[in-house]
Structure 1
Amino acid sequence: MKILLLITGLGLGGAEKVVTSLADQLFVAGHQVKIAYLRGEIEVQPQHPEIELIQLGLNSLANFSHSAQRFAQIMQQFQPDVVHAHMFHAILFARLLRRSAQIPYLICTAHSKVIGGKARQWLYRMTDRYSDVNTNVSQEATDFFIAQKAFGAAKSTAVSNGIDTQKFQFSASARQQLRSQFGFSDDTPVLIAVGRLMQAKDYPNLIQAFRLLQQTQPKAQLLIVGDGVQRAELEQQVQQLNLADQIHFLGVRHDVAELLSAADLFVLSSAWEGFGLVVAEAMSCERVVVATDCGGVKEVLGEPEWLVPPQNAEMLSKKLVQALQLSIEQKAQLGQQHRQRIQQHYSMQSMLQQWLALYHLSTERTAS
C-alpha cells in the first residue's frame, strides 16, 4: 500500500514524533510511505533514510498556490492509496485540495482536545465533508470534537498513539551514569518533566508546586527537558524563587529514555494535552507518574489516584510529596504495572494495526 503522511511541520513535538515513528513502522511492514510537511525546519525525522521528506513551502498564504501545485505533483507521481493528514493546518490544506489534487482517500487526525478557537472550529466544520475518516488521540478528545461539531460523528474515532517500548525502557546503567554526571546521590529525590516550554505545558504551575515541595523535600531536584518560547521567563521565575540550584533546564535532549531512568518521578503539569505522549513514555520506563487531569492523560495513566486538577500548584505539590514517600518496593511495583499497561494498550504495534485497519478501508471502498 502507498501512504502519504501530511503534517504541518517536523518540529520537536509529540505529534511530529508520532508521525515519524508511524512512517518507520509502515516502512518496516513493507508499505511505501512518504512524508510531506507544510513548512519549517526538520527537527525530527524517521530512522529509515529511504522515507522521503518533502517540504511544500507553505510559509504564508501567498505561497498557497505554489504549495498546492507541488502537492498535486506529488499526488500524481506517487499516487498514494491514502493521504493521512495530521494537525490543523495540514488537515485544512488536504481538505481544500481533496478534489483538485484527486486524493483517493483522506484520513484527518487531530492531536489535541483543543480546537483552537471559533475560527478553527468553523473551518473544521465547513470542510468536514471532504474527509473520509476523522480521528483524535484519545476518546475524550474525539468526543469533544464531535460535541463541538468540528468532526462528524459518523466518521470519527479515537486512535491512541503508540510507544516504542524497546526504546523506552528502564536502564539501571543509564540511571547510575546520569546521576553521577548531575552530581546526584542514589537517595536524591529526582523529578523530571519533558515537553516544550510553552503555555500548554504550564511550567509556572510546576515550578510553584516544586517550591512548595521543597518545604518537606529540601533535597529534591527537578530536571526540565525541552526548549521553547517561555524559557527565559521560566528561568527568571526560578531565579526569583532562589531555586536555581534545584531546578535544571536541560534544553532539547535526545536521551530522554535515559533521563527518565535517572529520575524517580515523572511529572506532567499541563493545562491541556491531547494524548500525553510523554506520560506513556515515562510509564514505559517504569517511572512513577503524577499528572494533571487533562486531555487523554487519564486514559493513558489508568490510575486516578495520581491525577490532580490542572493549574493547582498546591494539590500538585501534595501529590508529588505522596509519590516521593512511597517505598522503593512500592515505586518498583507501580512502575512495573505502568510498563505492562503500555505494552498491552499503547505499543507501537497496537497503533500500527489500528491505522492499517483504517487504511484498508480505502481499498475496500475502491473494490466496491
Structure 2
Amino acid sequence: MLKILFILTGLNYAGAENQVVQLCRGFRSRGHQALVVSMVEPEAYLEELGELGVEVRSLGMAKGVPDPRGILRLRQIIKEFGPDVVHSHLVHANILARITRLFVKMPVLICTAHNVNEGGKLREWLYRMTDPLCELTTNVSEEAVRQYVERKVVPRHKIKFMPNGITLGSFGQGRDKEWLADELGIAADSFVWLAVGRLVPEKDYPNLFAAFTAVLKQYPGSVLLVAGTGPERPALEKQCRELGIEDQVKLLGLRKDIPALMRFADAYVMSSQWEGFPMVLLEASASGLPMVVTDVGGNREAVLDGVSGLLVPPEDSQQLSDRMLEMMSLSTVELAAMGEQARKHVSERFDMEVIVTQWTRIYELKGISPGV
C-alpha cells in the first residue's frame, strides 16, 4: 500500500482540484491511502473525499499572504502521516512543498504545474531556485512542458508531460432536454451552447459574448449557458444588457450537475486567452459534445481540429462566431459523429484508470514499490 500526500493551494471547484479528487478515487480503489492538504481553508469536495475515506487537512493560511507557519504545519502533518510520496499541485503548493523539504524528510516529492504560465517571472525564478528540492516536475500539456523547458523554468531532464484524466463513467451521452429545459426556461428545439469555468479575465467571456451576439443574428433562438462563479459576473451581466442578449445568455452560477448540463447541451464552447489542460474539455468529450475552443495551452491536445471540434485563435470574436455558426450548420448526424470522435479520443488517451497506472509507475520509478 502506498501512502500519498497531496498538497494543493486550495480546494474549490476548479480543474486541478477536480483532478486530485479523481486521483484519490483511483488510488483508493487500488487499496492505497491518500491525504489531502489545502494551504487555505477548503471550500469544495469535502463530502466526496470523506466518502472515499480521504482525510482533508488545512494549513490555515490566508490567500495572498505569505505565512511561514504553513511550513511548520505541513512539516508536522508529514511527520504524522509518514507518506511514501508527496505530490503537490499548483505553483504555491509546489514552492511550499519544496521549501518544507528543507525541514522534514520526504522520500519523494513530485510537483505538478497546471498551466503554460503560472504567474510571471518571480514564480518562474522560484521554480528554478527550488528545483533541486524535488525529484520531478510534471505539467498537464505537452505545450506547457515545451514552454517550461524553453524558458528554462525546469531542466529538460526533470520535467515530464502527464495529462489529466477523467472517469468516463461519470459522463454519459444522450440529449434528453425535457427536465432541464423546464428548469432553465429553454425551448426544446433551441440550439444550446455550454461554457463551464470561473468568471475571471483569462476565460475571456467578453470575447465569447461578442461572438454569440453575431451568432444570434442567424440563429435568434439559440441559447448560451455559462456555469461558474467569479469576480467578473457584474461586468458580464452589464455586457449582456448592453449587447441586448441577456435573455439568451444564462449565467447559472455554481452548478453541481455539470454532467447533466453536458447531456443537455448541443455543443461546448471555450474562449480562454490561456489554459493549461482544461479538465472541462475532457468532460465535454466524454459526454459526446462537439466543441469550439480557442487554440491555447493544451486545448489542441484535447480537441482534434476538424475531427472532434474546431479550434480558433484567442481574442478573435469574428473567427469564434464563424466557427460556432459552422458547427450549428452541421446536421444532427454530423454533430453526433463529431461528438463520438471526441468520446473516442478521450477514452483512448485520458481514461483515469490509465492515468492512475501511469502515476503509479512514476512513483515506483522514483524508488517506491507498493507493499514496501
Determine if the TM-score, normalized by the shorter chain, exceeds 0.5. Answer: yes
Q: Deviation at 1:153? A: 0.9
Unaligned runs of 5+ in 2: none
Letter of the 1:359 counterpart: Y
Alignment partner, residue 339 of structure 1: 343
User: Is residue 19 of structure 1 aligned with residue 20 of structure 2?
Assistant: yes
Contact kept in structure 2, 1:20 and 1:45, CA below 8 Å: no
CA displacement, residues 174-232 of structure 1 (integer Å, 9 cap, x when unaligned) = x3321232233332111110000001110000000001111111111110000101000
Q: Deviation at 1:42? A: 2.1
Letter of the 1:320 counterpart: M
- From 287, 296, 299, the counterpart of 1:297: 299
Q: Deviation at 1:359? A: 1.1
Q: Deviation at 1:103? A: 1.4
SS at match of 2:119: coil
Alignment partner, residue 99 of structure 2: 96
Letter of the 1:83 counterpart: V
Unaligned runs of 5+ in 1: none
Alignment partner, residue 2 of structure 1: 3
User: Is residue 156 of structure 1 aligned with residue 159 of structure 2?
Assistant: yes
Q: Pick which of 288-297 and 275-284 moved more.
A: 275-284
Alignment partner, residue 262 of structure 1: 264
Letter of the 1:32 counterpart: Q
Q: Deviation at 1:31? A: 0.5
Aligned length: 366
Alignment partner, residue 239 of structure 1: 241
Alignment partner, residue 318 of structure 1: 322
Alpha-carbon distance in 1 for matches of 2:109, 2:187: 53
Matches within 5 A, 1:1-368: 1-45=2-46, 47-49=48-50, 50-59=53-62, 64-173=67-176, 175-303=177-305, 306-364=310-368
Alpha-carbon distance in 2 for matches of 1:47, 1:181: 26
Contact kept in structure 2, 1:292 and 1:307, CA below 8 Å: yes
TM-score between the two structures when normalised by the length of structure 2: 0.94
Q: Deviation at 1:237? A: 0.3
Alpha-carbon distance in 2 for matches of 1:291, 1:62: 35
Q: Deviation at 1:62? A: 7.3
Alpha-carbon distance in 2 for matches of 1:205, 1:61: 29
Contact kept in structure 2, 1:202 and 1:311, CA below 8 Å: yes
TM-score between the two structures when normalised by the length of structure 1: 0.95
Structure 1 residues 322 and 356: CA distance shift in structure 2, 3 A: same
Alpha-carbon distance in 2 for matches of 1:35, 1:334: 37
Letter of the 2:281 counterpart: V
Letter of the 2:110 counterpart: I
Q: Pick which of 301-310 and 197-206 moved more.
A: 301-310
Q: Deviation at 1:340? A: 1.0
- Give the superposed CA RMSD: 1.8
Q: Deviation at 1:336? A: 1.0
SS at match of 1:166: helix
Structure 1 residues 180 and 61: CA distance shift in structure 2, 3 A: closer
Contact kept in structure 2, 1:212 and 1:317, CA below 8 Å: yes
Alpha-carbon distance in 1 for matches of 2:369, 2:353: 25
**Matched-pair identity in %:** 36
SS at match of 2:344: helix
Alpha-carbon distance in 2 for matches of 1:62, 1:278: 30
Alpha-carbon distance in 2 for matches of 1:171, 1:107: 39
